[in-house]
């Protein structure tokens, strides 16, 4: 086909034509909404770098989960900020911990929404690293034991799915073994399979109060330059029993999302992270772009690249846009 016989603009003439031939269909069913849980009551603390996102106490988390359910969002993923932190992340494992309490309350009052829990100890450690420190280094295998116990405690509280994000070698296998031995073989695992050492996590670290007190996370999170290594990491998660695989962040790694979609026959999640969210919000507030259009364009691009699931702070706003049609 060539001009003038073929004129692509014929099918762009109006919105009905464009809807008819649209190749990528974004849906509220694609979204998971991240929430930050803190101790206390009636807490709704704004996160300055993430306009419209808050640290919420358990009572307010229940309300936000109910709002998400009313908008048709299938699930939320919880990140907990405990009252006390220590070197061993002890608050991550207790039955009445911040996440365990939030899970029970949401499942009791909003039973039809999926509750997913992040399994990582960076929010719970006094040093802010994702693993236990031994001799000045993050101890991989010691951390696996803590992550497994943490996942079991979340499942015991009623979590529908657990999501290990620490980027410890063998973390999915450790959680699968632990969950199965504890009688939670039906609880699925969403692996943070290819999680890069990204500059786009800055606002999250403010929200989760989880910035490392020393060093960085480059010894366990992936080098942003590597694609083949990402595929090897995802392969390991698949072999260890992941039910869903993930690429994080999303926008700078659309090529990784596309390749993962082509190479793996599992549901694929992508995390539209805090820095990606903050950039659009900041530019919108300054009048430099149309925030709503940019939001929908970005989410559509992530879906077009191959993501089946999009974890995004935009979930409620995007759901409202989609509801309007």
In contact, 261 and 288? CB cutoff 8 Å: no
Catalytic residue among 85, 107, 195, 281: 195
Go through the chain and tell me how many residues it has. Answer: 325
246, exposed or middle or buried, with CB in 10 Å at 0-12, 13-18, 19+?
buried
* Residues 39-55 pLDDT 10s: 999 999 999 999 999 99
In tens, the pLDDT along 119-160 reads 999 889 988 788 888 988 889 999 999 999 999 999 999 999
**44 belongs to the catalytic site:** no
Please, which residues have CB within 8 angstroms of residue 324's CB and are 6 or more apart in sequence? none
- The residue among 218, 242, 298, 311 whose CA lies nearest residue 270 is 311
Please determine, for residue 176, whether its predicted confidence score (pLDDT) is greater than 80: yes
pLDDT band at 214 (very low <50, low <70, confident <90, very high): low
Q: Which domains does the chain have, with CATH numbers?
A: 25-324 (3.20.20.70)
Catalytic (active site) residue 107: no
pLDDT score, position 208: 62
Half-sphere exposure of 119 (CA within 13 A, CB side): 35
**Would you place residue 187 in the very low, low, confident or very high pLDDT band (cuts 50, 70, 90)?**
very high
Span 224-262, pLDDT tens digits:
999 999 999 999 999 999 999 999 999 999 999 999 999
Mean pLDDT for all residues in the chain: 94
Using DSSP, state whether 12 is helix, strand or coil: helix
pLDDT band at residue 102 using 50, 70 and 90 as cut-offs: very high
pLDDT at residue 216 tops 90: no
Provide the percentage of residues in the chain whose pLDDT is more than 70: 97
Instruction: Write down the catalytic residue from 248, 261, 281, 303.
Output: 248
């Amino acid at each position: 086909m060539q001009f003038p016989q073929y004129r692509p603009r014929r099918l762009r003439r109006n919105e009905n034509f464009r809807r008819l031939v649209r190749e990528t269909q974004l849906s509220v069913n694609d979204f998971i909404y991240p929430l930050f849980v803190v101790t206390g009551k009636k807490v709704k603390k704004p996160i300055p770098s993430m306009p419209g996102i808050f640290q919420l106490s358990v009572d307010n988390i229940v309300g936000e989960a109910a709002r998400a359910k009313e908008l048709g969002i299938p699930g939320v993923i919880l990140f907990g900020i405990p009252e006390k932190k220590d070197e061993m992340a002890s608050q991550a494992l207790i039955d009445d911990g911040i996440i365990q309490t939030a899970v029970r309350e949401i499942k009791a009052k909003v039973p039809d929404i999926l509750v997913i829990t992040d399994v990582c100890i960076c929010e719970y450690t006094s040093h802010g690293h994702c693993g236990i420190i031994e001799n000045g280094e993050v101890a991989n295998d010691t951390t696996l034991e803590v992550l497994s116990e943490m996942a079991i405690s979340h499942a015991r509280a009623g979590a529908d799915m657990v999501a290990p994000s620490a980027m410890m070698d063998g973390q999915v296998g450790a959680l699968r073994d632990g969950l199965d031995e504890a009688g939670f073989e039906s609880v699925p695992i969403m692996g943070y399979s290819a999680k890069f050492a990204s500059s786009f996590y800055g606002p999250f670290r403010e929200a989760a109060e989880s910035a490392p007190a020393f060093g960085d996370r480059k010894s366990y999170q992936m080098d942003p330059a590597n694609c083949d290594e990402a595929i090897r990491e995802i392969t390991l998660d698949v072999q260890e029993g992941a039910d869903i695989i993930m690429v994080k962040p999303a926008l700078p790694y659309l090529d990784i999302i596309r390749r993962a979609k082509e190479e793996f026959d599992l549901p694929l999640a992508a995390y539209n992270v805090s820095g990606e969210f903050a950039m659009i919000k900041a530019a919108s507030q300054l009048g430099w772009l149309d925030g709503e259009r940019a939001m929908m364009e970005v989410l559509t691009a992530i879906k077009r690249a191959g993501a089946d699931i999009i974890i995004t702070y935009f979930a409620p706003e995007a759901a409202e846009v989609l509801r309007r049609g």
